[in-house]
Amino acid sequence: MKLVRLDSIDLRILRELQQDGSITNVALSKKVGISPPPCLRRVRALEEAGYIRGYHADIAADKMGFGITVFAMISLTNHSETDIAHFSKLLESWPHVREAYLMTGDTDFLLKIVAEDWEAFQKFVTTQISAAPNVAHIKSMPAMRRTKYAPGVPIEVP
């Protein structure tokens, strides 16, 4: 991976793409103040350097039938690297788990789970999470509503 030293144009490119990943190269180049060919080269360099990991659409969960979001704190019985890796791999097979974080402290994993309704979530917990090896404790917190959504990171341009 080639190292890229970020200048103000790179930061503008990253900010614009974070806000709208489907923006055309021509529109992006106009917004950041350079012509399309060097803009595309910079985007490719940012991708190759790992600053841009991918592009996706922000799908409305409720429109797709997923009416609830629940955050679940999972504690494992054993904490060896092998046990953590095994549980992490298991998480990958659960499509309802949309995000997962390995934590420090009393909770080992924090999961963001979407489900059609409360019954579907309970079924997922009892048939999947509780049935998983090495799970000691599950604490769930249903989200009432999302009050802020800002994907990515704050990008300040000098």
What are the Cα distances from residue 4, in Å, to 9, 11, 29, 35, 153? Answer: 12, 11, 19, 19, 18
pTM: predicted TM-score of the whole model, two decimal places = 0.87
What is the extent of the structural domain holding 12? Answer: 8-48
List, for residues 16-29, the tens digit of each pLDDT value: 999 999 999 999 99
CA distance 44 to 42: 5
Q: Are residues 72 and 125 in the same domain?
A: yes
Cβ neighbours for 138, distance < 8 A, ≥ 6 positions apart: 72, 73, 74, 75, 125, 129, 130
Q: Are residues 119 and 66 in the same domain?
A: yes
Answer yes or no: are the C-beta atoms of 99 and 112 closer than 8 Å: yes
Q: Residue 108 sits in a domain of what CATH number?
A: 3.30.70.920
Domain contains 153: no
Residue 55 tokens read as: 């592009």
Considering its fold, how many domains does the chain have in total?
2
List, for residues 87-124, the tens digit of each pLDDT value: 999 999 999 999 999 999 999 999 999 999 999 999 99
